[in-house]
Amino acid sequence: MSALVELCGIAKGFGSGEARVQALSDITLSVDAGEVVGLRGPSGSGKSTLLNLVACILEPDAGTLRLAGETVWDGRWSRADLRALRREKIGFIFQFHNLLPFLDATDNVALAMTLNRVPLAEARRRARALLDHLQVGKRATAMPAKLSGGEAQRVAIARALANNPRIILADEPTAALDSERAQVVMDLLRQVAREQAAAVIVVTHDDKIFSRFDRLVGLRDGRVETV
């Protein structure tokens, strides 16, 4: 296995002076291809901040960040266009599916590819193939309001996979699902990690899915507590 996500000495704070809050301190962590890692910890421990740093949404204050073999931050960003970097390397899954209500399931997935300059017809073909692969192809023409919670989350996973990212970041992806659907979603993420040799990082408070992770990383007060 090779590391797809590498953080070395990462730190991040917010505010200044007496009001400054140190969200993360000296975080060193790596996630390998094919590995599914859970980030757990109490509210305010830095989980979402860490996910947003890996996503290149927040800028670190110190340390080094490498994604899929590329040093993307080492005192400065290596690229001017971070949106392009995210489209190339990262797929996002959120607690709520965040599907566009005016597009059907196919076009919600295809949109991610058209933003990456894939022709619409090709994007729709791949979108339908992904929906079939995730066993929700029969709902390809359904609007989001007509999808069940589990179906909508599968469509959101298909959207995250649309551009073949090597890194999948999920923020509480099972929080809105019952136990059975939560297990299905985690099994899908494990399948994706294996089949695409992707690194999957999941922020979660959901103890019913802890057994589905290859490794749990605990955060407390902005520091790695357990690995």
Distance CA 114, CA 123 (A): 7
Please list the ranges in the chain whose pLDDT falls under 70: 1, 226-227
How many other C-beta atoms can be found within 10 angstroms of the C-beta atom of residue 68? Answer: 20
Question: What would the pLDDT profile of 180-199 be if each residue is shown by its tens digit?
Answer: 778 888 888 888 889 889 99
What is the structure's pLDDT at 84? 87
**What strand order describes the sheet that includes 21-32?**
21-32, 3-14, 62-67, 70-73
Question: What would the pLDDT profile of 6-48 be if each residue is shown by its tens digit?
Answer: 999 999 999 888 888 889 999 999 999 999 999 998 888 888 8
- pTM for the model stands at 0.87
- What domains are defined for the chain? 33-60+77-226 (3.40.50.300)
Helices (H) and strands (E) in the chain, counts: 6, 10
**Secondary structure (DSSP) of 65-85:** EEETTEEEESSSBS-S-HHHH
